A and B are shown apart, each in its own frame.
Chain A
Amino acid sequence: MALYSEKVMDHFRNPRNVGVIENADGVGEVGNAKCGDIMKMYLKIDDDVISDVKFETFGCGSAIASSSMATELIKGKPVSEAMQLTNKAVAEALDGLPDYKMHCSVLAEEAIRSALDDYYKKKAENEIRDLHDR
């Protein structure tokens, strides 16, 4: 039996949406080097729709595959929908992960959530600034 499903290996070998977005509307980084996985997500958002997403990951095969799959699942989706992304959905879309690797999918969910939080925070700040300017 292989360590990972075909889907995981595909996303690990050919990760989708790798890279950075300059001046992203939302950026989130989760995990730490101590535990061995770090994920960073960059979002470009137009009219509350995720028009582009990129990631960078330091981590194992399932961490890279989970980041890749998570970006695919939210790309082109409204922000409200992306907020609902669960680690279970990421793992299922990858045809499953070994039990002791489920934390990688959790990290992907958290990375997206963190980038969206950053987006909302920036948006709120901008609105306050707009109010001041007026």
Chain B
Amino acid sequence: MIYADNAATTKMSSRAIETMVSLMKETFGNPSSLYTIGQRAKEVLEQARKDVAEVIGADPREILFTSGGSEADNQAIISAAKIGEKKGKKHIISSAFEHHAVLHTLEKLKKEGYEITLLDVHEDGLVRPEELEAAIREDTCLVTIMYANNEIGTIQPIREIGAICRKHGVLFHTDAVQAIAHVPVNVVDDNIDLLSSSAHKFHGPKGVGFLYAKKGVLLSNLIEGGAQERGKRAGTENVPGIAAMAAALKEAAEHLEENSEKLKKRRDQLIAGLREIPHSALNGDETRRLPGNVNFCFEGIEGESLLLLLDDKGISASSGSACTSGSLDPSHVLLAIGRVHDVAHGSLRLSLGEDVTEEQIHEIIQSVKEVVEYLRSFSPIWRDLMAGKKPFIL
């Protein structure tokens, strides 16, 4: 079995599992209770907050625990929108290929009278800082640009974007769900005001994440109730999950550089191997991408059947084809970088785990080659392309 869908979710690390289990067994108290077992849970919670803060260069008071990346995105954007509204600013800038947790929140705000500008991400999947600067207006209250894209892995020029936002006094949020624990992120150096993260993308548990909000950025209450998380998010804290997230994050941060070097090598081997398939193309910039992300389009085939046959060969991957999403349109990310429908349907995302071996890379290359060739052998599109009835796009 080769699990190559780490951008979807990751396997929990042993350290994270052990942390979680031992807390569930022994430290089951409510952090709001005053007796010892409650206070012990409170200590664990606050230690996790410190650990998480330290990894991203924040102050522990700037970390709010959430149920994951989607919640953090929602709360960050809604909060910034409310702050803007008070000053009469109702314009938000984002990019065309954000995660739906961001895009759908922006759509909701649009219905409430906000104006949304979505920046072009160009063929390489990168936002241009100068285009961002040109889009900023008097009434811009928020810029929200993802740190790294979940499908094509491109890493945005976050530091520059942050600096521009700061210069113009506009709040800057970044969805760093795919970046945290995979590339170095520092909220101070990167000029970030709000940042979303999710534990299950770095070998932590699902259903846990955090939102960083720079001191002075007032968050709206997402859930009303008790005084947990400074009243911003009521509900008894998921102590085992939060501590497991902190453990996983610390572990990843300790090995970030070595893991990243190793992964990049494997990633580039995989890219080189898949490039040998005729009429294929890498999606997104080749170097400014996540260490484990490979995303290709293969002309003449459809992504879901590719995934199913790879699964038969023991390889788990994903695709941006329409048929895998249940809609008629292929991935908005691939359309945003200018892939036409015909080829966007034939996409494959392989997101490698740190433990991937060189042999496994060769196995993936071999399997993908075989399956693509097989599917092309009875594809009417491929026949027309080969017969010269239609021009190749890739």
Q: Which residues of chain A have a CB within 8 Å of any CB of chain B?
A: 9, 12-13, 15, 18-20, 29, 33-40, 55-64, 100-101
Instruction: With both chains docked as a complex, state the minimum distance between the C-beta of A18 and any C-beta of chain B, in angstroms.
Output: 5
Assembly CA distance A37 to B94 (angstroms):
32
Q: Which of B12-20, B213-221, B229-237, B296-304 contacts A (4 or more CB under 8 A)?
A: B296-304
Contact call A60/B302, Cβ cutoff below 8 A: yes
B82 at the interface (CB under 8 A from A): no
Does B247 have its Cβ within 8 Å of any Cβ on chain A? no
Those of B352-394 within 8 Å (CB) of chain A: 378-383
Q: Which of A13, A18, A36 has the most CB of B within 10 A?
A: A36
Judging by beta carbons under 8 Å apart, are A100 and B326 in contact? Answer: yes
- The reply to whether A34 and B341 contact each other, CB–CB distance below 8 Å, is yes
CA distance A20 to B323 in the complex (A): 25
Give how many A-B residue pairs fall within 8 Å (CB-CB).
70
Q: Closest approach, in angstroms, between the C-beta of B42 and any C-beta of chain A? A: 41
5 A-B pairs closest in CB distance: A60-B323, A60-B304, A33-B342, A40-B380, A58-B379
The winner among A9, A15, A60, A100 for most chain B CB atoms within 10 A is: A60
Q: Which residues of B contact A101 (CB under 8 A)?
A: 323
Q: Check if B380 sits within 8 Å of A36, measured CB to CB.
A: no
What residues on B are CB-neighbors of A100 within 8 Å?
326
* Least CB distance, A66 to chain B, in whole angstroms: 12
Q: Is the CB of B380 within 8 A of A39?
A: yes
Nearest B residue to A65, CB-CB: B305
Q: Give 11 A-B pairs besides A36-B330, A38-B381, A56-B378 with Cβ atoms closer than 8 angstroms.
A: A33-B381, A34-B341, A34-B342, A35-B328, A37-B302, A40-B380, A55-B378, A59-B323, A61-B308, A61-B323, A64-B305
Q: Does B200 contact A (CB under 8 A)?
A: no
Among B303, B304, B324: residue with most chain A CB under 10 A:
B304
Asked if A57 contacts B342 (CB within 8 A), the reply is no
Interface check B321, CB cutoff 8 A:
yes
B136 vs chain A, min Cβ distance (A): 36
Does B258 sit within 8 A of A, measured CB to CB? Answer: no
The 10 sampled A-B contact pairs (Cβ below 8 Å) are A12-B308, A15-B378, A33-B345, A34-B341, A36-B302, A36-B321, A58-B382, A60-B305, A63-B305, A100-B326
Once the chains bind, are A36 and B378 in contact (CB under 8 Å)? no
* Interface assignment of B112: CB less than 8 Å from any CB of chain A: no
Q: B304 touches which one: A33, A34, A38, A61 (CB < 8 A)?
A: A61
Residues of A with C-beta under 8 A to B312: 13
Give the residues in chain B near A64, CB-CB below 8 Å.
305
- Name the residue in B323, B328, B342 with the highest tally of chain A Cβ atoms < 10 Å from its Cβ: B323
- Asked if B322 is at the interface (CB within 8 A of a chain A CB), the reply is yes
Which residues of B from 306 to 348 have beta carbons under 8 Å from A? 308-309, 312, 321-324, 326, 328, 330, 341-342, 345
Given A18-B378, A36-B321, A36-B328, is A12 in contact with B305 using a C-beta cutoff of 8 Å? Answer: yes
Interface of A is mostly: mixed
**Contacts known (A12-B305, A37-B302); A58 close to B380, Cβ less than 8 A:** yes
Contact A58 B300 (CB under 8 A): yes
Contact A57 B304 (CB under 8 A): no
User: Which residue of A has the minimal Cβ distance to B321?
Assistant: A36
Q: Please, which residue of chain B has its CB at the minimum distance from the CB of A99?
A: B326
In whole angstroms, how far apart are the Cα atoms of A59 and B381 in the complex? Answer: 10
A59 lies within 8 A of B378 (CB): no
Assembly CA distance A67 to B5 (angstroms): 30
Q: Considering only CB atoms, which chain A residue lies closest to B383 in the complex?
A: A56
Q: Please give, as numbers and ranges, the residues of chain B lying within 8 Å of A35 by CB-CB distance.
A: 322, 328, 341
Bound-state Cα–Cα, A57 to B378, Å: 6
- In whole angstroms, what is the CA distance A4 to B25 when docked? 39
A109 → B minimal CB distance (Å): 17
Task: State whether B323 touches A36 (Cβ < 8 A).
Answer: yes
Which residue of B308, B321, B380 contacts A29 across the interface (Cβ within 8 Å)?
B380
- The smallest beta-carbon distance between B261 and chain A, in angstroms, is 37
In the complex, what residues of A have CB within 8 A of residue B381's CB?
A: 33, 38, 58
B345 touches A36 (CB 8 A): yes
B108 to chain A, nearest CB (A): 24
B382: which A residues are within 8 A, CB to CB? 58
Which one of A40, A55, A56, A61 lies within 8 Å of B305 (CB-CB)?
A: A61
Within the complex, what minimum Cβ distance (angstroms) separates A96 from chain B? Answer: 16
B384 to chain A, nearest CB (A): 9
Are A59 and B305 touching (Cβ within 8 A)?
Answer: yes
CB-nearest residue of chain A to B319: A60
Task: Give complex CA distance A64, B304 in Å.
Answer: 11
Among B301, B305, B322, max chain A CB count under 10 A is at: B305
- Residue interface mask B57-96, A partner, CB < 8 A = 1: 0000000000000000000000000000000000000000
Return chain B residues, CB-CB under 8 Å to A58: 300-302, 379-382
Instruction: Assess the B301–A60 pair: CB atoms within 8 A.
Output: no
* A57 and B380 contacting across the interface, CB-CB below 8 Å: yes
